[in-house]
A and B are shown apart, each in its own frame.
Chain A
């Protein structure tokens, strides 16, 4: 049905896709895995000739035997959506904000003169029919993604291309959306080309798997076999990045006895206007202990972290660091801040794009008026974060570094004051899979070498399994369950934790 032959795409002189051959039969499900910049999205967009004019496409793209590259515009428009449709990533922006979703679903039906009703389509994706009158902003992320799927099926295509269809969705919602997609593909015997950076998502949905790196397909085969016995090193790196909960090989933290408490949170409450973001939380992080705070977006975990850092004022309750209560402001708070450091999710935005590495790392020293030995301290911190030799990096601007290097700079900036606790908000969520393992290893090594404790805030249960000693699960502002990693993740006692664990896609 779909056949790519020697497909090569250039942007100017930059080659994004190189000599790709791929075939997809009706009813076949093929996953295309790769990191950001691997060319997987470009490949997907080329199928319907949706690339910007600056792209140069060579090779053949045969859709039902016809080359998309050489089709007349009229023919191409007729083929689009009727033969193959797309579920775009980020339904938030891929739906037109000023049209009702029903009209947007109906648009291709009218255009191509096919039969199909909006109500039926919504019913297929398990949305009530009255949602047709809604505007995109009135729907939740999961609902919008369902609308995208309904829209993709509107003209009864035989091929659906799904480009990161569940990225940015919470695990539970992701599981629901994937289930809908899987069911429809099976029922209607559709061909599915699914693109994702997340191997576990592909493992759930696709029978076959192709792995892309730097524009080339480096490995392909049956999904189970590829993941079980990766032959290419890049595939191996990708599989390692998605730890299997319960697998001792993926448990990197060595067991240790419970240490005396360093940070204690007691009955903490934080209100945002009338809503209570954090509702009576008790939490302890011991000396040199790594605690994972797990929860969905909106669970209040980020607010809790900000409050511990003194960036938000609690409505009631106490935060105790090293035996004394953290003050709400002034000099004393600043003194605590030397010992508690923040590491943020997206390193590219956690660094001021105008500041060189040296300035970014030295910022903490300058804020605290530690002018002496600035250079030696910065160099030491940068090398601790395993950017060696430091001199290579000190003059670089953030955009000249890779994502992993940027995150190391952020960590170096936190280490420079010699802190005792790191509060890390999704420290690996925006990193490419192959870099992720290195940063996780670095955090563990810092604990071993410096006795550095960490509070790791994450939505990623796999990360918790990999790195943490203890896990606390947060839901609607409350900690619903906490305990050792094995207890919480392997034998969850709270319903919510069980739902979370169940929703994690299995490789």
Chain B
């Protein structure tokens, strides 16, 4: 069974903002995939660059240079991969945990559901970013840590939503009918609950990527990113550290921020368009 039927795709295309968002995402994806092909390590090696620092945009460097004379345009291209990768992996991790917790606490009653709900609500109100910062401080720096820190702290909203959907489905008479037929947990979850949760999970993942990318940029800005990799957030960290603000180096500040806004907004728009398609209108 397909998740989104063909009329669903047609309706999706009718959401212009969603289509625009998808286009931005494809562009960002292509840029991230191609970046390693045309950027060699030397061009971004601080010790080997020859250009002057803090150059404004010009013919040689069309987005100018940073504090060490590296091309901002190339740094941007290089950073796209990390930002997207972290965003996607963290979102998949978060939504995965959230779906599991949500379905389990929605389907099974008793103390297990009570305990899971308690924990979900607890983490739901806690400031996720503070927890993510704490996690990335105590764990060794690296890409995996960032993914873990964001993924482990942003699952509760998905869990809440999936639980609500699971409860709604389980309250429907067709599930009671399935139980009366003798269907067990596996049957009810597999045939009735999961198929109705999947579209929601899809929407949630898309929206979760958006917030995960913002979270990654924030962690990187606070200096908690992977020191061996360039990401858009890490660029802004560097910019702040080396005084791009007093330098008025707008060409160094604008591109990473705009890129983050564009990609996050794109994911959000696609997510909202998907949401409009999968939630049945009453």
A367 and B178 contact, Cβ closer than 8 Å, known pairs A352-B192, A354-B1, A354-B196: yes
A351 touches B181 (CB 8 A): no
Q: Which A residues are in CB contact (< 8 Å) with B196?
A: 354
Listed stretches B72-80, B159-167, B169-177, B261-269; interface member: B169-177
- B178 closest partner in A (C-beta): A363
Q: How far is the CB of A82 from chain B (nearest CB, A)?
A: 32
Residues of B within 8 A of A390 (CB): none
Set of chain A residues within 8 Å of B183, measured between Cβ atoms: 363, 367
CB neighbours (8 Å) of A351 from chain B are: 174
Q: How many residues of A contact B (CB 8 A)?
A: 25
Q: Give the complex CA separation of A366 and B172 in angstroms.
A: 20
Quick check: is A368 within 8 A (CB to CB) of the other chain? yes
User: With the chains together, A350 CA to B1 CA distance in Å?
Assistant: 20
Name the interface residues of B164-214: CB closer than 8 Å to any CB of A. Answer: 172-174, 176-183, 187, 191-192, 195-196
Cα of A350 to Cα of B181 in the assembled complex, Å = 13
A residues within 8 A CB of B192? 352
Q: Which chain B residue has the least Cβ–Cβ distance from A399?
A: B280
Write out, one digit per residue, whether chain B residues 95-131 have a CB within 8 A of any chain A CB (1) or not (0).
0000000000000000000000000000000000000
A338 touches B182 (CB 8 A): yes
Q: Is the interface of B mostly helix, strand, loop or mixed?
A: helix
> What chain A residues lie within 8 Å of B178 (beta carbons)?
363, 367
Stretch at the interface among A35-43, A44-52, A84-92, A341-349: A341-349
B182–A350 CB distance below 8 A? no
Could you jot down 9 A-B contacts, CB within 8 Å? A311-B179, A333-B182, A342-B176, A342-B177, A344-B176, A350-B173, A350-B177, A352-B191, A368-B182
Q: Are B174 and A352 in contact (CB under 8 A)?
A: yes
A112 interfacial by beta-carbon distance below 8 Å: no
Kindly list chain A residues whose C-beta atoms are within 8 Å of the C-beta of B191. 352, 363
Q: Which of B176, B180, B196 has the most CB of A within 10 A?
A: B180
- Indicate if A445 sits at the interface (CB-CB under 8 A): no
Residues of A within 8 A of B174 (CB): 349-352
Q: B-side interface residues toward A, CB under 8 Å?
A: 1, 172-174, 176-183, 187, 191-192, 195-196
Q: Is the CB of B173 within 8 A of A334?
A: no
Contact, CB under 8 Å: A341 / B173: no
0 or 1 for each of A299-321: is its CB under 8 Å from B? (1 = yes) = 00000000001110000000000
Instruction: Given A350-B177, A354-B195, A363-B191, check contact A337 B182 (CB 8 Å).
Output: yes
- A309 to B178 CA separation, bound complex (whole angstroms): 12
* Residues of A with C-beta under 8 A to B187: 366-367
- Further 5 A-B residue pairs, CB within 8 A, beyond A346-B173, A354-B1, A363-B181: A310-B180, A342-B181, A344-B177, A354-B196, A413-B177
Report chain A residues within 8 Å CB of B172.
349, 352
Q: How far is the CA of A410 from the CA of B177 in the complex (A)?
A: 9
Report A321-362 CB contacts with B as 1/0, cut-off 8 Å. Answer: 000000000000110011001101110011110100000000
Complexed CA–CA distance, A344 and B177 (Å) = 8
Chain A residues with CB under 8 A of B180: 309-311, 337, 341-342
Q: For A338, what are the chain B residues with a Cβ–Cβ distance below 8 Å? A: 182
Is A364 engaged at the interface, CB distance under 8 Å to the other chain?
A: yes
> Which 5 residue pairs of A and B lie closest in terms of their CB atoms, listed nearest first?
A342-B180, A334-B182, A337-B182, A350-B173, A344-B173
Q: Which residue of A lies closest to B280 (CB)?
A: A353
> Smallest distance from the beta carbon of A236 to chain B beta carbons, Å?
32
Write out the residue numbers on chain B whose beta carbons fall within 8 Å of the beta carbon of A311: 176, 179-180
What separation, in Å, do the CA atoms of A372 and B172 have in the docked complex? 29
* A333, B179: Cα distance in complex, Å: 12
How far does the alpha carbon of A333 sit from the alpha carbon of B182 in the complex, in Å? Answer: 8
Complex Cα spacing A476 to B181, Å: 29
**Closest CB of chain A to B180's CB: distance in Å?**
4
Distance to closest chain A CB from B245 (angstroms) = 49
Question: What's the Cα separation between A345 and B176 when bound, in Å?
Answer: 12
Q: With A352-B192, A367-B187 in contact, is A345–B173 under 8 Å at CB?
A: yes
> In whole angstroms, how far apart are the Cα atoms of A413 and B182 in the complex?
13
> Given the complex of chains A and B, what is the CA–CA distance between A345 and B173 in angstroms?
9
Q: Looking at the assembled complex, report how far the CB atom of A90 sits from the nearest CB atom of chain B, in whole angstroms.
A: 15
Query: Does the CB pair B182–A367 fall under 8 Å?
Result: yes
A393 CA to B174 CA in the complex, in Å?
19
Question: CA–CA, A88 to B9, complex, Å?
Answer: 39
Residues on B with C-beta less than 8 A from A310 are 180
Nearest A residue to B175, CB-CB: A352
Tell me whether A364 and B181 are in contact (CB under 8 A).
Answer: yes
For chain A, residues 5 to 57, give those with C-beta under 8 angstroms from any C-beta of chain B: none
How far does the alpha carbon of A413 sit from the alpha carbon of B177 in the complex, in Å?
10
Give the nearest-CB partner of A346 in chain B.
B173
Distance of B17 from chain A, by nearest CB (Å): 23
Residues of B with C-beta under 8 A to A350: 173-174, 177
Kindly provide the distance from the CB of B191 to the nearest chain A CB, expressed in whole angstroms: 7
Give the residue name and chain of the B residue nearest to A354 (CB): B195
- For residue A342, which residue of chain B has the nearest CB? B180
- Give bound CA distance, A366 to B1, whole Å: 17
Cβ contacts under 8 Å, A337 to chain B: 180-182
A178 to B99, CA, bound (A): 49
Query: Nearest A residue to B184 by beta-carbon distance?
Result: A367
In the bound assembly, the distance between CA atoms of A73 and B216 in angstroms comes to 54
Residues on B with C-beta less than 8 A from A341 are: 180-181
Q: Which residues of B contact A309 (CB under 8 A)?
A: 180
Q: What chain B residues lie within 8 Å of A410 (beta carbons)? A: 177
> CB-CB < 8 A to A352: which residues of B?
172, 174, 191-192
